[in-house]
Amino acid sequence: MKKADRRRGGISEKVFADINGIRQGMFIEYTDVANPVILFLHGGLPEHFLAERYPNRLDENFTLACWERRGSGLSYSPGIPPETLTAERLVADTLAVTEFLRARFDKGKIYLMAHSGGTFIGLQAAARAPEMFAAYIGVAQIVHQLKSEMLAHEYLLRRFRQVGNRSMVRKLEAAPVSLTAGTPDGYLAVRDEAMHRLGVGTMADMTSVARGIFWPSVLSPDYTPREKIGLWRGKRSVGASAFWHEMLGTDLAERVPQLDLPAYFFHGRYDCTVNYELARAYAAQVRAPLKGFYTFDRSAHSPLLEEPARARRILVEDVLAGVNNLADPSLCSV
Q: How far apart are CA 295 and CA 303, in angstroms?
A: 9
Task: Specify the range with the lowest mean pLDDT, choosing from 53-62, 102-111, 166-175.
Answer: 53-62
Calculate mean pLDDT across residues 20-45: 95
Q: How far apart are CA 10 and CA 20, in angstroms?
A: 30
The answer to whether the beta carbons of residues 76 and 230 sit under 8 Å apart is yes
The CATH T-level fold of domain 2-144+226-331 is Rossmann fold (3.40.50)
Q: How far apart are CA 228 and CA 231, in angstroms?
A: 5
Task: Specify the range with the lowest mean pLDDT, choosing from 143-152, 207-216, 282-291.
Answer: 207-216
In this model, does residue 1 exceed pLDDT 60?
Answer: no
Our CA angle for 31, 261, 115, nearest 5°, is: 60
Report residue 100 CA to chain centroid gap: 21
**Percent of the chain residues past pLDDT 70, beyond the cut:** 96
In this model, does residue 191 exceed pLDDT 60?
Answer: yes
Q: What is the pLDDT of residue 4?
A: 47
Handedness of CA 175, 249, 278, 194 (dihedral sign): negative
Closest CA to 156 of 146, 147, 145, 168: 168
Q: What is the pLDDT of residue 208?
A: 87
Task: Specify the range with the lowest mean pLDDT, choosing from 1-10, 201-210, 218-227.
Answer: 1-10
Closest CA to 14 of 227, 217, 216, 308: 227
In this model, does residue 6 exceed pLDDT 50?
Answer: no
Q: How far apart are CA 280 and CA 269, in angstroms?
A: 10
pLDDT digits (tens, 9 = 90+) for 79-107: 888 888 899 999 999 999 999 999 999 99
In this model, does residue 334 exceed pLDDT 50?
Answer: no
Query: What are 279-282's contacts with CB under 8 Å, separation 24+?
Result: 279/138, 279/140, 279/141, 279/142, 279/143, 280/331, 281/143, 281/253, 282/141, 282/143, 282/252, 282/253
Closest CA to 236 of 173, 195, 189, 275: 189
Task: Specify the range with the lowest mean pLDDT, choosing from 79-88, 115-124, 315-324.
Answer: 79-88
| Predicted TM-score of the model (pTM) | 0.94
Q: How far apart are CA 117 and CA 243, in angstroms?
A: 10
Higher-confidence position of 112 and 52: 112
Rounded alpha-carbon distances, angstroms, from residue 244 to 78, 259, 284: 18, 23, 26
Q: How far apart are CA 167 and CA 284, in angstroms?
A: 39
Q: What is the pLDDT of residue 9?
A: 60
Residue spans per domain, the chain: 2-144+226-331, 147-211
- Report residue 52's pLDDT band, with 50, 70 and 90 as the boundaries: confident
Question: Facing residues of 112 across strands?
Answer: 39, 136
- Report residue 318's pLDDT band, with 50, 70 and 90 as the boundaries: very high
- Report residue 8's pLDDT band, with 50, 70 and 90 as the boundaries: low
pLDDT digits (tens, 9 = 90+) for 249-297: 999 999 999 999 999 999 999 999 999 999 999 999 999 999 999 999 9
10 φ, ψ (degrees, to nearest 5): -80, -165
In this model, does residue 241 exceed pLDDT 80?
Answer: no
Q: What is the pLDDT of residue 10?
A: 79
Calculate mean pLDDT across residues 143-167: 97
Q: What is the pLDDT of residue 79?
A: 86
Higher-confidence position of 241 and 196: 196
Mean pLDDT estimate for the chain: 93
